[in-house]
Amino acid sequence: MGLDFHLLNTSSTGGRRAALHLPHQTVQTPVFMPVGTAGSVKAVAQNVLESLNAEIILGNTYHLYLRPGHEAIGRMGGLHKFISWPRGLLTDSGGFQVFSLSQLRKVSDEGVQFRSHLDGSSHFFTPEHSMDVQIALGADICMAFDECTEYPAERTRAEESLRLTIAWAERSLHHFRAHQHEVAWHAELPGRSQSLFGIVQGGMYRDLRRQSAERLVEMDQAGSGFDGYAIGGLSVGEPRDLTLEMIAEVLPLLPANKPRYVMGVGYPDEIEQYARLGLDMMDCVLPTRAARHGLLFTSEGRLNIKGKKYAEDQGPPDPACDCMVCRRYSRAYLRHLMQASEPLSATLNTIHNLAYYLGIMQRVRGSLHSNA
């Protein structure tokens, strides 16, 4: 069995409170997943993530494939063991990073030829190869190989991109089902297996989004379809009401008994909003990346800790937050660490931002639970 998605409650707005049983962790949803690009949530140690109550984190297939390599990770028992993270793990398909980071891409029906952003070496990714890499990494949840349509995109471009994504989803699913038993922890966790999510694309065209969702759901024949559904290609520069419009279009088409994941969003108010609409999983680099640039998310709004006005501010970063950073350190100290380029700066800022994001979801879960 891949995952067991146990719905506990559904609110009047569609928000769902559920327990997502994965091979390595039961995840309480709605959940925010910190991004651990290259096998590390940047600047934060695994025990700190645990104390923040992070139940599932992301790994990026593109980065891990290039360095240290999926085969090495596979030989070492998979990503959980390699990074010493016993809880939930999700890997993306590599598609998004191939399109956003690599150079000299050449897309064909077969797959994508690209050059590594690290050393310029040439690589070819197909849906089948993405599955092989993700099976070697051994995350609890894998993602189908897709093309993320850029924004803005002409309709013909979005149609062509969606055609590829649909074909690749089918090939991903087929290859994944044929090889998922090869995961390194197959014998260790008997009866458990990785799960595969399909990804809805379609640019900013409502009918293409609808078509994308319908085609993915159709692939669920005799129960061997996708284990969950993601909405990708959002938060790529479009106005927020357009994001919401695409989500609203797709959401009713996705099966209620499977987890729904909106990829790469978002700001604190966005993740709360989407969770209340019925999205179960979210990830975003925003809290971690912004932290490294000194941007803190707080109950009083965004706070740029570099500001001179904080030079002697002895108050906590967020007076309403009880994370280990807000309990111990002042704004003045966090500002100083940033000014002095101290590595502790990224660590403390990131811990607070993650605590803030995870805290939002905890609050939302609480209200979804009590609100029948």
Catalytic positions, written as ranges: 92, 283
Q: Which residue of 75, 155, 293, 302 would you call a contact of a copy of itself, by CB under 8 A? A: 75
> Do the bridges between strand 103-107 and strand 301-304 make them parallel or antiparallel, or are there none, so unpaired?
unpaired
Distance of CA 182 to the CA centre of its chain: 24
Task: Kindly indicate which of the ranges 161-169, 191-199, 239-247, 322-330 contains the residues binding a copy of itself, using the contact rule CB under 8 A.
Answer: 322-330
- Rounded Cα distance between 23 and 218, Å, is 26
Q: Burial-class residue 338 by CB neighbours within 10 Å (0-12, 13-18, 19+).
A: buried
332 binds a copy of itself (CB under 8 A): yes
Name the residue among 125, 206, 114 with its Cα closest to residue 158.
206
CB-count exposure of residue 59 (10 Å: 0-12, 13-18, 19+): buried
Nearest to 52 by CA among 65, 35, 34: 34
To the nearest whole angstrom, how small is the minimum distance from the Cβ of residue 338 to a copy of itself?
11
Euclidean distance between CA atoms 284 and 274, whole angstroms: 13
**39 belongs to the binding site for a copy of itself (CB under 8 A):** yes
Question: Stretches 43-51, 157-165, 166-174, 252-260: which one binds a copy of itself (CB under 8 A)?
Answer: 43-51
| Amino acid, res. 282 | M
Cβ proximity to a copy of itself: between 38 and 244 the closer is: 38
Q: Which is nearer to a copy of itself, 243 or 345 (CB)?
A: 345
Tokens of 96: 């998004």
- Please identify, using beta-carbon distances, which residue of 39 and 228 lies nearer to a copy of itself: 39
101 binds a copy of itself (CB under 8 A): no
Exactly one of 329, 338, 353, 359 binds a copy of itself (CB under 8 A); that residue is 329
Task: Name the site residues for a copy of itself (rule: CB under 8 A).
Answer: 38-40, 42-47, 63, 67-68, 72, 75-77, 81-84, 311-312, 314, 324, 328-330, 332-333, 336-337, 339-340, 342-344, 346-348
